[in-house]
Structure 1
Amino acid sequence: MNAPVRLGVFAAVLAVVFGLAFGAGRLVGPDAAAESRPAADGHSGDGHSGGSHDAGYAIRLDPYTGGGLSFRITGPDGRAVTAFETLHEKPLHLIVVRRDLSGFQHLHPVMDATGLWRVPVALPDGGPWRAYADFTATGGPATVLAADLTVPGEHHSEPLPAPATTTVVDGYTVRLDQHDGVTFQVELDGRPVTDLQPYLGAAGHLVAIAQQDLTYLHVHPSGPGLAFAVEGGGPGVHRLYLQFQHRDVVHTAEFTVTGIGGGHAHN
């Protein structure tokens, strides 16, 4: 998965470095549509060309109605884009998260013939949320667009959990090793899980979002394990969302980390 802005996580000794992407949007009320564009140049891996903030793509996100989300991707000509490359088994990946970095969801909308994307989703907590559309239009660059949306209802901001190297999700213990790249080990009943199933064409998916400016990346491991590598770096608090599949169920393990690599990030 790729996108137009570099955000570092850690350096890892892997054969393939995957692309990363950041998006920037604006906060809108429940009666307005959100539109945003890529915020800066990026690079890509996985065999696809990189994106640019001059590519002219934009997202028009409809107000959240309580039953789901709908939006269009428009191209440089201002018209809805209707042709997309299939990347990791889907033409578009939609990441939705509250601006306090809780409520993470990885969704796969369905597009109709007019270029309108729809996906049922429950966003139970009111207040500001962030949506990232990750895609490659046919003949275009790998792109991530982000837009803010407001969910009606009470808003209670939650502080991030303190940084930790171990978390438990659905009975699985997940350990994060930051010494040589970013690597995860999954255990069940005290034993390493060695039979993870591919999820969307990869051994796992890693999304990282910065707390301060909501810059975003989505990368995949280059081998059968859960080891990830990206370029660059940056200080500050980030939330990591690792998704893996075992016994036909997808699980999401979340971590808070402070200080990512040495370079800088863009938004």
Structure 2
Amino acid sequence: MKTWPKITGFAAALAVVFGAAYGVGSLAGSGDAGTRAGTQAASEVGTAESGGADEAAVEVPEGLQVSAHGYSIDLKTPRIERGRTTDIRFAILDAKGRPVTDYTVEQEKELHLILASRDLTVYRHLHPTRSGDGTWRMPVNLPTAGDYRLFADFAPAAGDGESLTLGTDLAVAGRYEPQPLPKQEPTSEVDGYRVTLRGDLGAGSARELTFEVSKDGKQVTDLQPYLGAYGHLVALRAGDLAYLHVHPNSEAGDPGTKPGPTVSFTATAPSAHGYRLFLDFKHEGKVRTADFTVRADLAGDTAEAEDEPAQESGSPEHDEHG
């Protein structure tokens, strides 16, 4: 995961054409101007046999590329069936097409795997296991059919210490009924916990997001460390699923850092658009995920978006973390 101070995956400028979005509605917006952040240098996609890819002048957000900086993700199970537990298998290849077997541990793991449905109603944060030949494996059971995006977040030991996020598509067979983007709300309910979001995303400007965790009407003041911190946040842009990964403003063990009830992050959105936020937190030995729909605006306007139908099933479906 990104380790530079307080803001991760939100740095350079970008210009990108959005992919198709399902149910983005008024939250998606049409603006895409201003400073772009959360980018990594673009590489034209090439084959392993060709020795990697040539660097392009344009920079794009993380997670939109299958190849970047001489590394590629090779998904060996590009299609699975809905509702059936299947091992997802993939490898990270270097510029010569060789599987990478040496990684830098970041946030207690060599690699973090994120799975999200294209309509952003299913989300998984997983930690697969790696075999000696460099193949990563993780059993998954996805509840709905459709198009998914798989993100691998890692730092190769042979690199310059910077972590990368590569993405590739996963098809889940079965009848597909895309859902609308869940309605924007300031609170999220999960397993009896209520998480309240304060703050907003600004396109091209750093802003603080603070999450307060409570249970049964009482503030939770004994959160447990998860991946070295009291919270872990992933943001995905509706439409193309650009991947924005931030760290908390302080980590577990830092002087003055309390285990709740709040955990805060500083983040910069790459464009004015709709986003989904997924906050992982650990309490009483279990990791839970609170989800939010937000909109980033160039002017930092926090006004509520126009009313739109909420997803019938309520909050997006989550799974236990690997």
TM over 0.5: yes
After superposition, the Cα gap between the structure-2 partners of 1:222 and 1:133, relative to the gap in structure 1 and judged at 3 Å, is same
1:174 counterpart = 2:188: no
Residue 83 of structure 1 deviates from its aligned partner by 0.5
Please name the residue that 1:129 is paired with: 148
Pick from 235, 244, 255 the counterpart of residue 292 of structure 2: 255
1:185 counterpart = 2:212: yes
Please name the residue that 2:33 is paired with: none
1:146 counterpart = 2:160: no
Structure 2 unaligned spans of 5+: 11-37, 43-52, 201-206, 251-256, 301-322
TM-score (norm 1): 0.79
In the alignment, the residues of structure 2 paired with residue 120 and residue 250 of structure 1 have an alpha-carbon distance, to the nearest angstrom, of 18
TM-score (norm 2): 0.66
The within-5 A match list for 1:1-267 is: 1-2=1-2, 16-20=6-10, 40=59, 55-63=69-77, 64-65=79-80, 66=84, 67-140=86-159, 141-178=162-199, 181-223=208-250, 224=257, 225-231=262-268, 233-260=270-297
More divergent stretch after superposition (97-106 vs 223-232): 223-232
Structure 1 unaligned spans of 5+: 4-14, 25-35, 44-52
In the alignment, the residues of structure 2 paired with residue 42 and residue 255 of structure 1 have an alpha-carbon distance, to the nearest angstrom, of 21
Counterpart code for 2:175: E
In the alignment, the residues of structure 2 paired with residue 77 and residue 233 of structure 1 have an alpha-carbon distance, to the nearest angstrom, of 32
After superposition, the Cα gap between the structure-2 partners of 1:254 and 1:84, relative to the gap in structure 1 and judged at 3 Å, is same
Counterpart code for 2:97: G
After superposition, the Cα gap between the structure-2 partners of 1:156 and 1:41, relative to the gap in structure 1 and judged at 3 Å, is closer
In the alignment, the residues of structure 1 paired with residue 73 and residue 54 of structure 2 have an alpha-carbon distance, to the nearest angstrom, of 7
- Deviations for 1:71-100, whole angstroms, at most 9, x for unmatched residues? 010012221111011111110000001000
After superposition, the Cα gap between the structure-2 partners of 1:78 and 1:101, relative to the gap in structure 1 and judged at 3 Å, is same
Q: Provide the aligned C-alpha RMSD in A.
A: 2.9
Instruction: Check whether the contact 1:171–1:188 (CA below 8 A) recurs between aligned residues.
Output: yes
Instruction: Check whether the contact 2:269–2:296 (CA below 8 A) recurs between aligned residues.
Output: no
Larger radius of gyration, structure 1 or 2?
Answer: 2
- Deviations for 1:119-142, whole angstroms, at most 9, x for unmatched residues? 011012111111000000002131
- Deviations for 1:129-160, whole angstroms, at most 9, x for unmatched residues? 11000000002131000001111111110111
Secondary structure of the structure 2 residue equivalent to 1:234: coil
In the alignment, the residues of structure 1 paired with residue 212 and residue 298 of structure 2 have an alpha-carbon distance, to the nearest angstrom, of 21
Secondary structure of the structure 2 residue equivalent to 1:93: strand
Please name the residue that 1:29 is paired with: none
After superposition, the Cα gap between the structure-2 partners of 1:262 and 1:216, relative to the gap in structure 1 and judged at 3 Å, is farther
Secondary structure of the structure 2 residue equivalent to 1:201: coil
Secondary structure of the structure 2 residue equivalent to 1:213: coil
Secondary structure of the structure 1 residue equivalent to 2:288: strand
Instruction: Check whether the contact 1:169–1:252 (CA below 8 A) recurs between aligned residues.
Output: yes
- Deviations for 1:159-203, whole angstroms, at most 9, x for unmatched residues? 111111111111001100016611100011111111100001111
Residue 253 of structure 1 deviates from its aligned partner by 0.3
Instruction: Check whether the contact 1:233–1:260 (CA below 8 A) recurs between aligned residues.
Output: no
Aligned pair count? 234
Instruction: Check whether the contact 1:22–1:145 (CA below 8 A) recurs between aligned residues.
Output: no
In the alignment, the residues of structure 1 paired with residue 194 and residue 152 of structure 2 have an alpha-carbon distance, to the nearest angstrom, of 30
Aligned-residue sequence identity (percent) comes to: 41
After superposition, the Cα gap between the structure-2 partners of 1:42 and 1:127, relative to the gap in structure 1 and judged at 3 Å, is closer
In the alignment, the residues of structure 2 paired with residue 261 and residue 197 of structure 1 have an alpha-carbon distance, to the nearest angstrom, of 35
